[in-house]
Amino acid sequence: MAGIWWTGAILSLVEVITRGEAGGMTSDAITVLGLGNLGVAVAQAFLRGGCRTAVWNRSAAKGVALEGSGAVVAGTVQQAVASGGLVVVAVLDHQAAQEVLRGVDVRGRALVNLTSGTPEEARELARWAAENGAEYLHGAVYAVPQTIGTDESAINYSGSAAVHERWRERLALLGRVTYLGTDAGLASGYDVAILSGMYGLIGGFLHAVALARAGGIKAAELTPMLLSWLTDLHPALVTFAEEADRGDYAGGESSLAMNQSGLAMLVRATEAQGVPFAALGSFKALVDEQVAEGRGTESLARVVESLQRPAG
Ligand SMILES: NC(=O)c1ccc[n+]([C@@H]2O[C@H](COP(=O)([O-])OP(=O)(O)OC[C@H]3O[C@@H](n4cnc5c(N)ncnc54)[C@H](OP(=O)(O)O)[C@@H]3O)[C@@H](O)[C@H]2O)c1
């Protein structure tokens, strides 16, 4: 019996050491720093999943509401960090994340930062974490707070493979987990590109709505037709992506010249209906630039070359 006890004790000790539980930390507990709309949803998802969860927020009142759900409300960032092996940060921006973590002892912690930022900002925090004895995983959230913890939530992560491996099941309580690689900036690299696509789409959509309204068409009537056409357009984006990766725009059925003509018609129609062409003006300028360079017969995808900063 004693042998069994010793074996169990040694195994527990090995587990404690591997998990960095020395010093009385509760390594399987979770800490959420920042209780804005996202942080509250994240903390609630962990609590629903049965995780011991400590929370901290700059304005203390926001934590109180979570006490009823079982959260431990910490008075300081340090107290909150001391009680969780996994520390999730969800504050307004990179600067706020730096302010929250500055001077805090994060040794042995797995930091998961869901705060939006640039790739270099994520790498900067990863370096800071490494210098301070913590591991860093950056997360880019594709969800709204209401969908956190549902099938409609997805989070792309990059950075520490060990953190991803060890906390994957807990992170899955927030939404689908995709791990992109060890570069902490990669998740943000995808994110800023995806957000650019999103804002371009929304800008185009709102221009379409303004144009429809000016023509006496309700936005709700326009939208299903527009969505159907955008869905049919997906293969064209795949083709454009292949052309951009090859840097070869010779083929294709959607030439710059044809699109220049289409955009010129759109300017006439838009202005005739009293709608400024503002949302699409910069795109048209890029098409015009490519055509002026003699590329009119090449694919529309060549516009990306106008956005490429010259090397050097
Ligand atoms: N909400 C979404 O749908 C969504 C989706 C994807 C990604 N995100 C990203 O997630 C992050 C948080 O978004 P959110 O919607 O939760 O924002 P939010 O509701 O505006 O909350 C902002 C949080 O940041 C805290 N904060 C701001 N400045 C601070 C500072 N200097 N020091 C300490 N705390 C500070 C606020 O504390 P106080 O309460 O004290 O003001 C609050 O807890 C953002 O980077 C956002 O881009 C959000």
Domains (ranges, CATH) in the chain? 2-184 (3.40.50.720), 218-306 (1.10.1040.10)
Cα 172 to averaged position of ligand 1 atoms, centre (Å): 21
Pocket-testing residue among 73, 91, 194, ligand 1, by greatest number of atoms within 8 A of Cβ: 91
pLDDT recorded at residue 65: 87
Region 234-247: mean pLDDT is 96
Cα 91 to averaged position of ligand 1 atoms, centre (Å): 4
What mean pLDDT, rounded, does the chain reach?
Answer: 91
Residue 252 near residue 243, CB atoms below 8 Å:
yes
* Any ligand 1 atom below 6 A from CB of 92: yes
Cα 115 to averaged position of ligand 1 atoms, centre (Å): 7
Residue nearest to atom 37 of ligand 1 (CA): 58
pLDDT recorded at residue 21: 40
Region 189-199: mean pLDDT is 96
Q: Which residues pair with 53 in a beta bridge?
A: 30
Closest by Cα among 159, 86, 174 to 119: 159
pLDDT recorded at residue 300: 96
Q: Alpha carbon 73 to chain centroid distance?
A: 27
Confidence of residue 1 (pLDDT cuts 50, 70, 90): very low
Say how far apart CA 63 and CA 39 lie, in whole Å.
Answer: 10
pLDDT recorded at residue 160: 98
Cα 114 to averaged position of ligand 1 atoms, centre (Å): 10
| CA distances, 265 to each of 28, 218, 273 (Å) | 61, 22, 12
Cα 33 to averaged position of ligand 1 atoms, centre (Å): 10
Q: Which atom of ligand 1 is nearest to the CA of 33?
A: 43
DSSP 198-264: HHHHHHHHHHHHHHHHHTT--HHHHHHHHHHHHHHHHHHHHHHHHHHHHT--S--SSBHHHHHHHHH
pLDDT recorded at residue 251: 78
Output the pTM of the full model.
Answer: 0.87
Asked whether residue 19 carries a pLDDT value surpassing 60, the answer given is no
Asked whether residue 25 carries a pLDDT value surpassing 90, the answer given is no
Percent of the chain with pLDDT over 90: 87
Region 15-38: mean pLDDT is 67
Q: Which atom of ligand 1 is nearest to the CA of 115?
A: 45
Q: Which residue has the tokens 């699109």?
A: 259
Asked whether residue 210 carries a pLDDT value surpassing 90, the answer given is yes
